[in-house]
């Protein structure tokens, strides 16, 4: 045997499965493995694809390790991405393999992309020239080779019109090249004239990008202050430096407007990455990101795990948004992990928001982050005038939700031909259905939650597990006829009320459960922006970052909805939501106005919204967190114990709590006195208690909260606790949520 072939290395291969360990194999030198290489190797009785996480020379002598079967032709995962995977797994206490899985799923969906077919005019004239056909021909002449869908959209006709023309030989079909994976923007394409504040902030951001080292900047500016235009200049700087940019947005619904604005600035569309992108395209984008060909990626939180070749800038827009927290599977907060990725990649990170999270504000106040502020709306536009409607004084009649004051404002705005928004953060028709004759309430069979009445979908739906049933004619309990009653409002019911009040107005509901998904939603947002409706009725979906040029009045139906939860973050979240949604008003020429219906207008959150004094609100909120030792001043983790029955779940949770009390003496952990604030070297334990959703998908849930000082090794404690606690069996399971968002 030639010497070269006997030289071997041992590699540790991590597989995309729910384990933490990378398994060792031998590999012949001829295979040319490097750390990060994709390999196929035996895993149990099968072969599986994994990634080399470590490599070392094989010790002399025969080895009892199995051998790597093959090396795959996929560009290796870089050191920095592997570091990041390790980091996310350690921080969130998730199996490393599951984090790896998020990073490498895309390249294996290599099914061929569907062929794109273009329509070419043959010159033949159609048999009959209807107006629709005329528009189609004109659009085809102007637009050149287009797909059927693109032509139908450009001409404003249905696909069947085009099918008719194809049958008559007016078009021939021609295969088009696939869409390029990575169009490239031009940093100088259409540079806007920035305001003085914008220009100053943009210069700072560009400097941070060019430094090519790790930094975090909070870009804080009131709604409509022009944050997007400002951070576009940081993207331009990264483009000029030949480095990649990642822009994270909290909602897919926001991407279409972003893509359009981006196109107007850079002359090309950025690469989009989210669950709505087809598998084949994702595979091509993954490679284009790895090769560095894709320069600008805009996406949902999962884009954080892309294999960037040379990342120069990460932007987290609406950084305060709760949607950045992933709570299923691998638990992580995309904003926090974006900062981690930025540190590993040694690049600039920008966190943008009109209402920063308390965590980010504290980081900025303590000098860990730079803070840039845009104080005023762009172009001297005024902030909306915000008024409270005290619902205790002149409430609407029973079963109605729009107050007389708001009705008057809506009528006035309609009279002026301007657009209004009614905001209610509740999907569906009514949050609860009950029987008037026996009091029966419709509850989810799998969860401790009421079923929400959805009239459009003609069903009662659980918002936690998705369980769906028909709304019956008779009460299932007492069989009374016509006794079922909707309790409380949802956006569908609000629309009914608005339609009764304003029969001639054009109404539109914007909510995440519209049929038709992302495409339909995109069309609806465009319709609103175009002014195709008079009153928009929306959930929190409309509160975020949208630009509705004609919108001048915002009515908040139930401003107090989020304040009653008892969750320490309730005030912060309500403040952010109200600030964002009222900020949709008057972003263009006409000044805006907002009416906020509240049962407690004296609440500090309401006072902050009404006075516009957010600094006072932040100061008070930060002080409260400090006193309670809550994040970011202390660290917090939730342990959710779930089981098939309440007794076994509770027993397990109690056993864990006992283990926590016994742990200190052996391992050096000290538990603070019950309920006390933990000091240096201490932890404190709350619970177990029923989790906020006590039954979810048929599982009974109990929760332990662990609080620790900022400097403590919370993960280390949890690892020790799980090891010392009872074994997880009999269907009982303990899941960890570091930095729980609601508690």
533 appears as a binding residue in the annotation: no
Sequence-distant (6+) residues with CB within 8 A of 296 are: 185, 235, 239, 244, 245, 247, 262, 266, 270, 271
Residue 701 as a binder of Zn ion (CB under 5 A): the answer is no
Nearer to Zn ion, 447 or 685 (CB): 447
Q: Is 467 in the site for Zn ion (CB under 5 A)?
A: yes
Q: Compute the least distance from the CB of residue 379 to ligand ADP, in Å.
A: 6
**273 touches ligand ADP (CB under 6 A):** no
Cα dist from 260 to 252, 263, 469, whole Å = 14, 5, 40
Cα 487 from Cα 433, distance rounded (Å):
6
506 closest CA partner among 539, 541, 530: 530
8 Å CB contact between 141 and 121: yes
Which one, of 207, 546, 216, lies nearest residue 352 by Cα?
A: 216
Residues in 676-705 that interact with ligand ADP by CB under 6 A: none
- Establish if 384 lies at the interface with ligand ADP (CB under 6 A): no
What is each CA distance from 530 to 256, 376, 536, in whole angstroms?
14, 25, 12
Tell me which H or E stretch contains 544: none
Touching ligand ADP, residues 574-603 (CB under 6 A): 587
Q: Of these partners, Zn ion, ligand ADP, none, which one is at the site of residue 446 (CB under 5 to 8 Å by kind)?
A: Zn ion
Q: Does 194 bind ligand ADP (CB under 6 A)?
A: yes
- What residue 632 binds from Zn ion, ligand ADP, none (CB within 5 to 8 A, per partner kind)? none
**Choice between 364 and 734, CB closer to ligand ADP:** 364
374 contact partners, CB below 8 Å, separation of at least 6: 197, 198, 201, 219, 220, 221, 222, 225, 226, 227, 230
Query: Which partner from the list Zn ion, ligand ADP, none does 228 bind, CB cut-off 5 to 8 Å by kind?
Result: ligand ADP
At 394 the three-state DSSP class reads: coil
Is 465 labeled as ligand-binding? yes
Structure tokens at 508: 């539109």
Among 136, 228, 433, 539, binds ligand ADP (CB under 6 A): 228
Q: Is 256 in the site for ligand ADP (CB under 6 A)?
A: no
| Nearest-approach distance from CB 642 to Zn ion, in angstroms | 14
Rule CB under 6 A: is residue 546 a binding residue for ligand ADP?
Answer: no
| 275, two tokens | 């669950």
Is 487 annotated as ligand-binding? no
Q: Which partner in ligand ADP, Zn ion, none is near 192 (CB below 5 to 8 A by kind)?
A: ligand ADP
- Tell me which of 262, 273, 369, 378 binds ligand ADP, using CB under 6 A: 378
Residues contacting ligand ADP: total by CB under 6 A: 16
Residues contacting residue 231 through CB under 8 Å, at least 6 positions apart: 202, 205, 219, 315, 317, 350, 352
Among 464, 506, 607, 654, contact with Zn ion (rule: CB under 5 A): 464
Stretch that binds Zn ion, among 302-310, 404-412, 440-448, 624-632 (CB under 5 A): 440-448
Asked whether position 637 contacts Zn ion by CB under 5 A, the answer is: no
Rounded to whole angstroms, the Cα distance separating 736 from 641 reads 9
Q: Which residue among 224, 250, 428, 725 contacts ligand ADP (CB under 6 A)?
A: 224
448 binds Zn ion (CB under 5 A): no
Q: Please pick, from the candidates 252, 447, 509, 536, the single residue that binds Zn ion as defined by CB under 5 A.
A: 447
Terminal C-alpha separation, the chain: 64
**Rounded Cα gap, residues 358 and 361, in angstroms:** 5
CA 81, distance to chain mean position in Å, is 21
Fill in the per-residue mask, 204 to 223: x = in contact with ligand ADP (CB under 6 A), - = not in contact. Answer: -----------------x-x
Catalog residues that contact ligand ADP under the rule CB under 6 A: 192-195, 198, 221, 223-229, 378, 547, 587
Catalog residues that contact Zn ion under the rule CB under 5 A: 444, 446-447, 462, 464-465, 467
């Amino acid at each position: 045997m030639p010497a070269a072939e006997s030289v071997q290395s041992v590699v540790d291969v991590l597989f995309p499965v729910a384990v933490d360990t990378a398994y060792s194999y031998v590999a012949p030198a001829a295979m040319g493995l490097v750390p990060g290489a994709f390999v196929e190797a035996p895993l149990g009785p099968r072969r599986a694809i994994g990634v080399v996480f470590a490599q070392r020379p094989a010790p002399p002598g025969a080895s009892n390790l199995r051998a790597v079967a093959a090396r795959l032709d996929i560009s290796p995962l870089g050191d920095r991405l592997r570091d990041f995977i390790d980091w996310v797994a350690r921080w969130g206490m998730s199996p490393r393999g599951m984090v790896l899985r998020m990073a490498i799923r895309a390249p294996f969906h290599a099914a061929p992309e569907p062929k794109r077919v273009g329509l070419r005019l043959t010159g033949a004239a159609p048999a009959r020239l209807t107006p629709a056909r005329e528009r189609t021909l004109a659009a085809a002449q102007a637009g050149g080779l287009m797909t059927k869908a693109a032509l139908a959209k450009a001409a404003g006709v249905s696909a069947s019109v085009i099918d008719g023309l194809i049958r008559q030989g007016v078009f021939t079909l021609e295969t088009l090249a696939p869409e390029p994976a990575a169009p490239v923007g031009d940093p100088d394409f259409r540079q806007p004239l920035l305001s003085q504040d914008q220009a100053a902030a943009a210069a700072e951001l560009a400097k941070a990008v060019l430094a090519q080292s790790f930094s975090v900047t909070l870009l804080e500016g009131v709604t409509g202050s022009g944050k997007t235009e400002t951070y576009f200049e940081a993207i331009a700087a990264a483009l000029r430096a030949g480095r990649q940019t990642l822009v994270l947005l909290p909602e897919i619904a926001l991407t279409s407007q972003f893509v359009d604005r981006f196109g107007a600035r850079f002359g090309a569309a950025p690469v989009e990455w989210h669950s709505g992108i087809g598998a084949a395209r994702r595979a091509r984008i993954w490679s284009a990101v790895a090769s560095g060909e894709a320069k600008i990626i805009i996406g949902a939180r999962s884009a954080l795990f892309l294999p960037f070749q040379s990342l120069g800038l990460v932007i987290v827009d609406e950084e305060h948004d709760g949607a950045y927290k992933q709570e299923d599977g691998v638990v992580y907060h995309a904003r926090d992990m974006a900062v981690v990725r930025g540190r590993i990649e040694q690049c600039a990170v920008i966190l943008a928001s009109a209402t920063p999270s308390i965590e980010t504000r504290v980081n900025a106040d303590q000098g860990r982050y730079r803070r840039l502020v845009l104080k005023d709306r762009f172009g001297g536009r005024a902030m909306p005038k915000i008024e409270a409607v005290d619902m205790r004084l002149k409430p609407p009649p029973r079963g109605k939700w729009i107050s007389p004051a708001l009705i008057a404002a809506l009528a006035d705005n309609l009279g002026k031909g301007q657009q209004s928004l009614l905001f209610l953060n509740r999907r569906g028709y009514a949050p609860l259905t009950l029987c008037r004759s026996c009091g029966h309430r419709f509850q989810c069979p799998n969860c401790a939650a009421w079923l929400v009445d959805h009239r459009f979908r003609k069903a009662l739906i659980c918002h936690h597990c998705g369980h769906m049933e028909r709304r019956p004619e008779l009460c299932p309990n007492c069989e009374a006829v016509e006794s079922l009653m909707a309790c409380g409002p949802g956006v569908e019911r609000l629309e009914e009320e608005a339609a009764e009040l304003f029969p001639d107005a054009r109404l539109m509901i914007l909510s995440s459960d519209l049929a038709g998904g992302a495409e339909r939603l995109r069309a609806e947002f465009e319709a609103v922006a175009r002014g195709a409706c008079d009153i928009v009725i929306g959930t929190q979906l409309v509160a975020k970052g949208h630009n509705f040029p004609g919108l001048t009045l915002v009515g908040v139906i139930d401003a107090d909805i989020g304040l009653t939860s008892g969750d320490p973050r309730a005030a912060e979240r309500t403040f952010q939501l109200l600030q964002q949604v009222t900020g949709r008003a008057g972003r263009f020429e006409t000044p805006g106005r907002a009416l906020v219906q509240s049962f407690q207008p004296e609440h500090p959150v309401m006072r902050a919204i009404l006075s516009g004094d957010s600094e006072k609100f932040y100061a008070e909120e930060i002080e409260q967190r400090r006193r309670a030792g809550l994040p970011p001043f202390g660290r917090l983790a939730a342990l959710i114990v779930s089981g098939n029955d309440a007794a076994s779940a509770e027993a397990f949770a109690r056993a864990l709590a006992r283990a926590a009390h016994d742990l200190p003496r052996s391992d050096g952990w000290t538990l603070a006195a019950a309920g006390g604030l933990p000091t240096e070297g201490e932890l404190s334990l709350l619970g177990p208690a029923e989790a906020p959703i006590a039954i979810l998908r048929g599982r009974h849930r109990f929760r332990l909260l662990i609080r620790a000082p900022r400097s403590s090794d919370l993960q280390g404690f949890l690892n020790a606790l799980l090891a010392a606690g009872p074994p997880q069996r009999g269907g009982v399971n303990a899941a960890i949520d570091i930095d729980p968002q609601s508690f």
